[in-house]
Every structure is written in structure tokens, then in C-alpha cells.
Amino acid sequence: MNSTLITQSKPVNLTLEQNTKIMPKSPKKSSNKSKRKTPIKKSLQAPKQDVSANIARKKSFPSGLWTKCPDCGNVLFNKTLEENMQVCDKCDYHFIIGAKDRLAQIIDKGSFTELYEKLRSKDPLQFKGSKSYTEKLKQSQKITGLDEACIVGHGKLNNKKIAFGVTDSRFIMGSMGSVVGEKLTRIIEYAIKEKLPLVIVSGSGGGARMYEGALSLMQMAKTSAALSKLDKAGLSFISVLTNPTMGGVMASFAALGDLIVAEPKALIGFAGPRVIEQTIRQKLPKDFQTSEFLLEHGLIDIVSSRKEMKDCLSRLLKYLA
């Protein structure tokens, strides 16, 4: 989650405002000290009382109750945010959520069977940077509670059986290494074997996982080739893009859906806007690489809010059947 837990900083601002409001009321700068004394004393006393009240208030609010929306800046009650599927009810900002939450939102309760869960990444290049690849994997496993950046399996969506995959952008930025590529390829092959429609929800700010060098790049070709077989078998693939879906993920399986659905305001593209601007030496349009911009320009078919996503996918699956 890129959400920010905040402490109660607003009351402090209020006392400052009160203070500044009191100050102008004091008489204009004059040499008469007796006239100045009273208002200044008042302004000095007021914050003291407010600060202690503020500390008391701080103590009465346990941490982890509130989250600040990174888009509109409003402070949201965590319980409301949870009831709202991690969507800001003030500005419709869709917070980044993990693969397990996503699965729970889309697949019918109790119907999911995970497949190929025992696949594990190796460190073929013995990659060393500020952190080794092995350390990075362990760190991501701890943060997400997942063994790898994606979960695949089969389950029901509004009572219709589907093959399903979801990536987690919190796990090494949801990048596609050998295991993610292999799991996705296997679930595509499973869909072909079982004659099931396929839905993959992508979230990847990283694209290909460069800790694995060329091996990660090969996953782009592998997943794309498998999807070509799915297409030839006459089966449907719906690709769901979430914030962010970039790089090698967007340049392979994520862009190959028969229908492409995206969450609102998601960052979607290949290279980041700064790199593109530097390369073409032109100013990019506003909202470039957002779901709405890409819908308008034909890359995406539908932008659906998270709350309507399950019903939207259900309707599309019926349409494609």
C-alpha cells in the first residue's frame, strides 16, 4: 500500500491559524508598550492550552485508524475505506491492493483453487545490487505474505467457472520473472485444456524482472505465444489493468486481451512519461498514460470502477461466450 498513515496534525494548524488571527487584532505597531502587552500575552497563552488539548486528542486516537488519500488529500477512516473496497469516497482514487484482496473481490467466496503454488524463483545471475535478489525476494515475501508476485488458479465468477491470474504490484513491483511467466503460461494452458475463459488482473510498475536478465524478457514471448494458442482454441481472455501496469507486462500478456478493462486513473504504459519526453523532446499531453486517456485513444475498451468490476467482468464473459 502506498497509503500514508497520518498523525493528527490538523489541530496544530488550527492553533497556528488562531494565533495568526489574534495577532493582527493587536494594535498597530506603536511605541506605546502598555497598549501592546495584553494582546500579545493572550496570543502566547492560547497555543499553550491548544497544544495540551492536542496532545490529549492524539493519545485518544490509536494509530492505524486513518489514511490520507494521496490524490485529494482527504483523511479517510480506514473502516470506511475497507467497506469501500479501498476506494476514496471523496475523489474515487483507487488505492493499490494486494493479489489476495483482489481475488476476494472478483472470485466467488470459497470457489477458488490455487494452482502451481509451489514454483519458486531462483537467482541464476547471482544478482548483487544495494540488495541481492534473494534478499529482495525475502523482503517482498514478508510484506505481501505471498511466495511470488502472482497467484493463478480456477474459480467461479458470479457462478461461472473461469481460469484466473492476478499479479501483486507490491512484490518487487509486480515484475515478471521466470516464475510469474511460468505460472501465467501454465494457467493459460490450463484454460485451453479445460476450455475455460481466462481473466488476468495485472498490476506491475516493474515490467520484466531485470534481476533475472534475459530470462525475464523471455517470459514476454512465452506468455504471448501461449495466449496465441488460447485465441486459436476460440477461448476468451479478458485483461484487467490496474495501477500501475507498465513495461514488459504491458508489452506482453496484459495488452493482449480480447477485451481490455482498466480501473480509473491507473498508470498504464511501457516507458515512463519522463523517459518518453526526453526521447521525443516534446511535451506530453495532460493525463498521458492514464486509463481515461487510453480509453479515448482506443487502447482500452472499458474503464470500470473497482466496485463494479465483478459485475462488469461477468457481463463481458457472457457477451464473449
Find the part of the chain contacting Zn ion (CB under 5 A) among 72-80, 127-135, 217-225, 248-256: 72-80
Interface with Zn ion, residue 71, by CB under 5 A: yes
To Zn ion, the closest distance from the beta carbon of 223 in angstroms equals 34
Assess 297 for contact with Zn ion (CB under 5 A). no
- Least distance from Zn ion to the Cβ atom of residue 19, Å: 30
Structural contact between residues 263 and 300, judged by C-beta atoms closer than 8 angstroms = no
Helix axes 10-25, 33-60, angle to 10 degrees: 170
Judged by beta carbon, residue 161 or residue 265, the one nearer Zn ion is 265
Residue 5 touches Zn ion, criterion: CB under 5 A? no
Residue labelled with grid coordinates 469516497: 89
Looking at residues 146 to 205 of the shown chain, list those that interact with Zn ion (rule: CB under 5 A).
none
Task: In whole angstroms, give the CA distance from residue 177 to residue 149.
Answer: 9
Residue whose cell numbers read 511535451: 283
Query: What 8-state DSSP symbol labels residue 75?
Result: E
Q: Which of 69, 179, 210, 255 binds Zn ion (CB under 5 A)?
A: 69
Residue 211 touches Zn ion, criterion: CB under 5 A: no
Q: How far is the CB of 247 from Zn ion (least distance, A)?
A: 27
Report the C-alpha gap between 128 and 130 in whole angstroms.
Answer: 7
209-244: b (≥16 Cβ within 10 Å) or e: bbbbeebbbebbebbbebbeebeeeebbbbbbbbbb
93: contact with Zn ion by CB under 5 A: yes
Nearer to Zn ion, 91 or 320 (CB): 91
- Residue 65 Cβ, how far from Zn ion at the closest point, in Å? 17
List interacting residues with Zn ion (CB under 5 A): 69, 71-72, 88, 90-91, 93
